[in-house]
Amino acid sequence: MRRVLIIIIKLLTFFVGGRIVDKIGFNIFLFYWNTISKGHLLIRQTKPKPRLVWCPINMINHKYWANSMREIGYEATTIADFANFIASIDDFDYFLHENDKNFYTKILNRKTTILYELRHSYPQIVHYLAFDYLLKNYDIAHFGFIGSFLGTTNYWQHEAILMRKFGIKSVIQSYGADMYMYSRITDVLLRHTFIGYNEHFAKNESIIESKVKYWTLNADALLPNLAIDGIGRWSALPYNTLAIDLKLWRTKTTYSTNDGSNGPVKIIHTPNHRYIKGTEYLFRAIEELKNEGLQLELILLEKKPNIEVRRIMNEEADILAEQFVFNAYAMSGVEGMASGLPVLANLSDQHYTRAFRLHSFLNECPVLSTPIEIIKENLSLLIKNPSLRKELGIAGRNYAEKYHSYSSAQYLFQKVYDKIWYNSEVDLINMYHPLNPEAYNNQSPKIEHPLIENKISAELLVTLNK
């Protein structure tokens, strides 16, 4: 039977073309999904607790979010297309690529596994089978603007319609590449940097725009974080929804008293893409500081496993220099704060930060805002003032515990589920408003640190070694 199907597919592809074969194949799936949707909708409406899935991109964030919800009794799964040098196969539950067949042999029934054998002759079938599994087995799906498993197919516009028929709720969590339309980026330096990194996305902006519009209209909840250029709406305004397992990230117990004259200060930098992080400007600043007589050492970590990053942040590094172009701190910044390190990242553009200062929790963040122009100046201040490094490092750990822990993720997602699954009256848009007494921010003490809007104030500056 398997060989016959493969021969038929190959003959059809040869004589009528791959797109026509794909159209026929998808319409068969579509007819099947429409036929069974009502029954699955009725079953789903009886579920007391929604089953969760994060897909299809291989983001390490998905692992942490899913694990956080498992801690409080949810069934949560991660399904990814492939693993990169940061993540590994062990970081996710299932993969679509053939280097890991668990998804097909352990979950899907034997009949569907036979269909999977057609993947070399009909590669799109893998995504249709994965979407079929999502429709039947999950209640809330989390993914970016690219969509879930139909997102890379020619039939992505059917996704929201089918999810709605099956009673599945969608939560959009943007990761950047899924939503950035280069012409819409306010910061021209950031736009230039993205063009230099990958011009492909600029050429495909119309496709990205159509998907952003599609999910802006159809998603049950949108959590784009701080990546908001070109995004028309959002459900809540957390500055950053990243979460990590803080049990794995031990904070420093001792801080170096080296100040660049009595001993070297070690700076860690972990770029996944040097051009986007502004790495070359960090190199220049470090060389200039060395030429001025300061003792410092750069620890450059690229394509290193997470366990090694954790060890070095905890045991060796004194400062984390994260990124200097994009207006944000990202996963590396969260990991640095969790380790008790002072963190340098660019938070200077008010187009991106003002709303998050007034309506979210950015002012509690102890990251020292460092655009390219003042990398040298801020590095020098942290190098020469070990007590400031320690103060910012301790505040960073406290901030990570409050805003980037599993408990913070649980709070956010449960509020979203209350709104979209249980139809409760939840004020998501103000759930992080500092002036809202019920806001998450006000349920625990405010994070204290010496910075004002992530900058060193004039009053603080006069007390520091320069």
pLDDT score of 92: 86
pLDDT score of 96: 75
**In sequence order, which residues have a C-beta less than 8 Å from that of residue 254 and are 6 or more positions away?**
none
Residue 275: what residue type?
Y
pLDDT score of 248: 93
Give strand pairing partners of 53: 77, 141
Is 342 in contact with 382 (CB distance < 8 Å)? yes
Q: Determine the Cα–Cα distance for residues 287 and 300; give it in Å rounded to an integer.
A: 14
pLDDT score of 307: 87
Concatenating the DSSP letter of every residue in 87-155 gives: S-GGGSSEESSTT--HIIIIIS-HHHHHHHTTTTT-TTHHHHHHHHHHHHH-SEEEE-TT-STTTTSTT
Reference 152, options 135, 132, 128, 136; nearest CA is 128
* Phi-psi region at 423: left, alpha or beta (left = phi > 0; alpha = psi -120 to 50): left
Q: Determine the Cα–Cα distance for residues 255 and 236; give it in Å rounded to an integer.
A: 37
pLDDT score of 201: 82
Phi/psi of residue 231, nearest 5 degrees? -95, 125
Spans of the chain, pLDDT less than 50: 1
Site of tokens 């599609």? 214
3-class secondary structure, 296: strand
Beta strands (DSSP E) in 318-450 are 319-323, 343-345, 368-369
pLDDT score of 98: 53
Q: Would you tell me how many other CB atoms lie within 10 Å of the CB of residue 322?
A: 30
Is 147 in contact with 161 (CB distance < 8 Å)? no
pLDDT in tens, 39-63: 988 888 777 899 999 999 888 899 9
Domains of the chain, CATH where assigned: 2-173 (no CATH), 265-406+445-461 (3.40.50.2000)
pTM of the model: 0.93
Q: Determine the Cα–Cα distance for residues 239 and 355; give it in Å rounded to an integer.
A: 9
Q: Would you tell me how many other CB atoms lie within 10 Å of the CB of residue 315?
A: 11
- Two structure tokens written together for 410: 């649980």
Identify the helix (H) or strand (E) that includes residue 67.
helix 60-70
pLDDT score of 9: 61
pLDDT in tens, 274-300: 999 999 999 999 999 999 999 999 999
pLDDT score of 105: 59
